């Protein structure tokens, strides 16, 4: 095929980008070279619209071993142990083909983790779907959940937590964000930087097929009515092969053979080889005839751009080929020496003894576009003046039951019961909690992880919403007794070429940066997913934050279920009665305007550290952060988990009962304490200038709101559990 401007445009390149490529090469690229540029210069691989702003995120900390720039981030958890973790999107593929899209998303993120020498120990996910009234939502949800479970369950890694949201903005573009944690010894971490000249470059894993070609480019495209035509760009996963690949790689890593290793993810052999060469500041020469292929007559273009799954690229020490091959033969995986490192600083490709591509590495990486796109600053919306007379017609139990059955609050047990969350035998807090927790096998340590997002807050005011989602992750980790260490982010936004969408991204990133810096909660890995829209309809800005923390002794772990009758329940943090953008306001009052609740970072940090201190002193029996739905929803979930009731005291605040019970003021926790410890707890709270309210006393059954209003735990369970089950059965 003759390459020209129109062919370049079909590959997702702009006119100016095509012109720049011709100038850098001092020639017109051939079709293979053009395909390589289109893969490396798209948003998914180059971060051309985002990396200018991502540079401002805090990425360093006392426990950070590796920040952004590698396959995943790495943190130190003591005793020469480290946790490798990352979250990444597989949005477009999952909308086109939900089972395989979600499955390969899980497979891809696990490869990112074990590529660095870590054995995966836990998976999480953040999945967002359109309105339940949308005709596609149910099938998309069913397919995605089956895909996540089908892959994770087969490979034998527990899914310990996650988040599921519904909003009409995702009708034409769902989000599937997958997160994996792995465990590794600090002295056995592997990186992707190639080194040395004349070192063998090894292909291992599955054979290369035509599936997934243009997958990376498709991830940076806007959907239209021809979306079904994009199904061939969705990769096909095989978890059983991935399990073999995992074990084979870890076995090889136990020796001293590997110089560098990189999984073939987005853009396949193209990105893996170029990233290794770029980081090592050297060249790589590949003989494409030696690439194991499962289809006949594959062209160099197809071989280089295929995103077939379960493949790795390795640079070995000289003389280690036979040793390595023996291992991969044992695990029944393909093994082929397909090239070598060179001092050319080029990617040179040969096929049928002809050179079919000759590209300086710098042109693909250092010289890739970086755009300072125009963006529109958001205005903080005016606060709503709610007519309190409207509350008179509301009954608090009706409101509570409606909120507990809201798609974004209701129990997601239908989803997570399809995931194996106990395999490996170290899961000690399963999905449905503030954070999932796995014990570090053979030790007393435990690692906690959660995934959070808040699209409504970010849509109302991106800067505040960005701060909030980091603080939410912080609170979730603290609520289980974990010391927050670091975060990974998956930033899901619309078309960056639109000033409004770009502004949402810029300000969300600013908010994330401010909060993570203040809380000493650095960003160590992540992913940006742009162009999440169909035609002109974009999603709400949705940054997903995956937080990771450490519990030094797993026996100090706290759960959210109320434990004992007559224990005192406190609300930590001040309740101002903030209703704008709350689910009460949006779902009950039908008011969707106004700013999100304010974020006071000092209070977030002070309140969180104080609660964590109380937990470490064994003064807290149960804990739960206050988020969607406010105080009454939070305590209802604690009652449901513990099969206990609560007698609620009349609040002292001079605010309406509905404002107190359903507001979403930030920085708050619900904690249960023993009566005999109340004095000590009060002294600590007052010493730290932490506001608290005495909410009530744990009962054997029923939530008693006042002398006229009570509800049984069985009724709460029914309200909380029924919606999703009925929705999926209908």
Helix/strand/coil for 670: strand
Average pLDDT over every residue of 544-570: 97
Average pLDDT over every residue of 488-508: 97
Average pLDDT over every residue of 609-634: 98
Helix/strand/coil for 328: helix
pLDDT class for 536, splitting at 50, 70, 90?
A: confident
Find the distance separating the first CA and the last CA of the chain, reported in whole Å. 51
Summarised one tens digit per residue, pLDDT across range 422-459 is 999 999 999 999 999 999 999 999 999 999 999 999 99
Helix/strand/coil for 487: strand
CB hemisphere CA count around 210 (13 angstroms):
7
Q: At residue 219, does pLDDT exceed 70?
A: no
In sequence order, the 6+-apart residues with CB closer than 8 A to the CB of 430 are 160, 161, 416, 421, 422, 436
Dist. CA 276–CA 191, nearest whole Å: 9
Q: At residue 13, does pLDDT exceed 70?
A: yes
Q: Which of 167, 189, 197 is nearest to 72 (CA)?
A: 189
Dist. CA 186–CA 117, nearest whole Å: 10
Dist. CA 478–CA 481, nearest whole Å: 5
Q: Considering only residues 197 and 214, tell me which one the structure prediction assigns the higher pLDDT.
A: 197
Summarised one tens digit per residue, pLDDT across range 151-174 is 999 999 999 999 999 999 999 999
Phi, psi of 600 (to 5 degrees): -105, 105
Summarised one tens digit per residue, pLDDT across range 238-280 is 999 999 999 999 999 999 999 999 999 888 999 999 999 999 9
**Beta bridge partners of residue 526, listed in sequence order:** 489
> To the nearest whole percent, how much of the chain has pLDDT over 90?
91
Dist. CA 514–CA 468, nearest whole Å: 10
Length of the chain (residues): 730
Quote the tokens at residue 59.
């990425």
Task: Provide the pLDDT for residue 221.
Answer: 54
Q: Which of 372, 637, 384 is nearest to 499 (CA)?
A: 372
Average pLDDT over every residue of 690-718: 94
Average pLDDT over every residue of 301-306: 95
Q: At residue 590, does pLDDT exceed 50?
A: yes
pLDDT class for 224, splitting at 50, 70, 90?
A: low
Task: Provide the pLDDT for residue 431.
Answer: 94
Q: At residue 226, does pLDDT exceed 80?
A: no
Cα 609 versus chain centre, distance: 25
Dist. CA 715–CA 611, nearest whole Å: 31
Dist. CA 115–CA 369, nearest whole Å: 28
Query: Please, what is the average pLDDT of the chain?
Result: 94
Q: Which of 457, 536, 450, 458 is nearest to 491 (CA)?
A: 458
Average pLDDT over every residue of 601-621: 98
Q: At residue 110, does pLDDT exceed 80?
A: yes
Task: Provide the pLDDT for residue 304.
Answer: 96
Quote the tokens at residue 552.
């030094």
Q: Which of 412, 581, 728, 540 is nearest to 130 (CA)?
A: 540
Q: At residue 12, does pLDDT exceed 80?
A: yes
Dist. CA 294–CA 275, nearest whole Å: 25
Helix/strand/coil for 478: helix
Dist. CA 211–CA 104, nearest whole Å: 12
Dist. CA 682–CA 688, nearest whole Å: 10
Decide: pTM greater than 0.85. Answer: yes
Sheet holding 119-129, edge to edge: 64-66, 73-78, 81-89, 175-185, 119-129, 159-166
DSSP letter assigned to residue 150: H
Please list the helix, strand and coil fractions of the chain in percent, rounded to the nearest 5, in that order: 40, 25, 35
pLDDT class for 218, splitting at 50, 70, 90?
A: very low
pLDDT class for 233, splitting at 50, 70, 90?
A: low
Average pLDDT over every residue of 332-355: 97
CB hemisphere CA count around 73 (13 angstroms):
28
DSSP letter assigned to residue 71: S
Q: Residues with catalytic annotation?
A: 44, 90
Average pLDDT over every residue of 477-485: 98
Q: Which of 379, 298, 283, 299 is nearest to 339 (CA)?
A: 283
Locate all alpha helices (DSSP H) within 570-712, ordered by sequence: 583-587, 601-616, 630-642, 657-662, 678-687
Other Cβ atoms less than 10 A from the Cβ of 535: the count is 10
Task: Provide the pLDDT for residue 216.
Answer: 47
Dist. CA 729–CA 138, nearest whole Å: 10
Task: Provide the pLDDT for residue 236.
Answer: 82
Output the CA–CA distances (angstroms, integers) from residue 260 to 198, 244, 275, in the order listed. Answer: 14, 20, 11
Q: 108 in the Ramachandran plot: left (φ > 0), alpha (ψ -120 to 50) or beta?
A: alpha
Q: Which of 646, 611, 621 is nearest to 631 (CA)?
A: 646
> To the nearest whole percent, how much of the chain has pLDDT over 70?
97
DSSP letter assigned to residue 589: S
DSSP-assigned states of every residue in 241-275: HHHHHHHHHHHHHTTT-EEEEEE--TTHHHHHHHH
Using CB atoms within 10 Å of the CB of residue 56, give its burial: 0 to 12 exposed, 13 to 18 middle, 19+ buried.
middle
Q: Which helix (H) or strand (E) holds 279?
A: helix 268-280
Other Cβ atoms less than 10 A from the Cβ of 154: the count is 18
Task: Provide the pLDDT for residue 1.
Answer: 81
**Beta bridge partners of residue 548, listed in sequence order:** 449, 486
Strands 334-342 and 200-205: antiparallel
């Amino acid at each position: 095929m003759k390459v020209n401007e129109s062919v370049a445009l079909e590959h997702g390149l702009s006119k100016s980008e095509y012109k720049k490529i011709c100038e850098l090469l001092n020639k017109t690229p051939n079709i293979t070279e053009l395909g390589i540029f289109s893969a490396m210069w798209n948003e998914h691989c180059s971060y051309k619209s985002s990396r200018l702003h991502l540079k401002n995120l805090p990425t360093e900390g006392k426990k950070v071993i590796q920040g952004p720039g590698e396959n995943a981030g790495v943190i130190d958890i003591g005793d020469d142990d480290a946790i490798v973790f990352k979250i990444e999107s597989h949005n477009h593929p999952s909308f086109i083909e939900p089972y395989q899209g979600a499955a390969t998303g899980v497979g891809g993120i696990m490869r990112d983790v074990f590529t660095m020498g870590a054995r995966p120990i836990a998976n999480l996910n953040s999945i967002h779907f359109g309105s339940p009234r949308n005709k596609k939502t149910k099938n998309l949800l069913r397919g995605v959940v089956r895909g996540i479970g089908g892959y994770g369950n087969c490979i034998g890694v527990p899914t310990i937590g996650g988040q599921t949201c519904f909003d009409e903005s995702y009708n034409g573009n769902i989000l599937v964000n997958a997160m994996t944690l792995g465990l590794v010894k600090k002295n056995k971490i592997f990186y992707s930087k190639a080194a040395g000249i004349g070192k063998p470059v090894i292909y291992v894993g599955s054979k290369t097929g035509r599936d997934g070609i243009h997958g990376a480019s498709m991830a940076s495209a806007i959907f239209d009515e021809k979306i079904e035509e994009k199904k061939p760009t969705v990769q096909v996963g095989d978890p059983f092969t991935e399990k073999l690949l995992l074990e084979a790689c870890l076995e090889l890593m136990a020796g001293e053979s590997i110089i560098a290793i990189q999984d073939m993810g987005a853009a396949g052999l193209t990105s893996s080889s170029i990233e290794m060469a770029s980081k090592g500041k050297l060249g790589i020469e590949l003989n494409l005839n030696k690439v194991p292929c499962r289809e006949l007559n594959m062209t160099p273009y197809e071989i280089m751009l295929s995103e077939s799954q379960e493949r790795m690229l390795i640079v070995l020490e000289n003389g280690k080929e036979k040793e390595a091959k023996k291992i991969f033969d044992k695990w029944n995986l393909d093994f082929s020496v397909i090239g070598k490192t060179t001092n050319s600083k080029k990617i040179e490709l040969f096929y049928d003894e002809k050179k079919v591509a000759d590209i300086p590495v710098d042109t693909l990486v250092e010289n890739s576009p970086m755009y300072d796109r125009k963006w529109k600053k958001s205005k903080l919306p005016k606060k709503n003046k709610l007519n309190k007379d409207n509350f008179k017609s509301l009954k608090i139990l009706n409101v509570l039951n409606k909120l507990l059955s809201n798609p974004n609050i209701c129990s997601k047990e239908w989803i997570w019961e399809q995931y194996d969350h106990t395999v490996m035998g170290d899961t000690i807090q399963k999905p449905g909690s503030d954070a999932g927790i796995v014990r570090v096998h053979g030790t007393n340590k435990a690692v906690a992880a959660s995934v959070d997002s808040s699209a409504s807050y970010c849509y109302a005011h991106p800067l505040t919403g960005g701060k909030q989602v980091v603080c939410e992750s912080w609170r979730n980790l603290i609520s289980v007794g974990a010391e927050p260490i670091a975060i990974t982010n998956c930033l899901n936004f619309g078309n960056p070429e639109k000033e409004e969408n770009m502004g949402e991204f810029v300000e969300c990133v600013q908010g994330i940066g401010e909060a993570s810096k203040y809380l000493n909660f650095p960003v160590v890995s992540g992913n940006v997913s742009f162009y999440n829209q169909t035609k002109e309809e974009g999603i709400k800005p949705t940054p997903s934050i995956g937080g990771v923390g450490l519990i030094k002794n797993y026996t100090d772990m706290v759960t959210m279920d109320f434990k004992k009758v007559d224990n005192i329940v406190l609300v930590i943090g001040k309740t101002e009665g903030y209703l704008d953008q709350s689910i009460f306001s949006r779902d009950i009052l039908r008011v969707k305007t106004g700013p999100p609740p304010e974020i006071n970072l000092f209070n977030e940090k002070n309140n969180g550290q104080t609660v964590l201190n109380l937990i470490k002193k064994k003064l807290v029996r149960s804990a739960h952060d206050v988020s969607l739905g406010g105080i009454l929803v939070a305590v209802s979930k604690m009652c449901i988990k513990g099969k206990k009731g609560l007698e609620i005291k009349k609040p002292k605040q001079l605010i309406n009962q509905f404002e107190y019970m359903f507001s979403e003021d930030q920085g708050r926790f619900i904690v249960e304490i023993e009566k005999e410890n109340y004095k000590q707890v009060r002294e600590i709270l007052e010493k730290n200038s932490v506001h608290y309210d005495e909410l009530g006393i744990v009962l054997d059954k029923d939530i008693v709101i006042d002398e006229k209003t009570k509800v049984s735990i069985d009724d709460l369970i029914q309200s909380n559990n029924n919606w999703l089950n009925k929705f999926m059965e209908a």
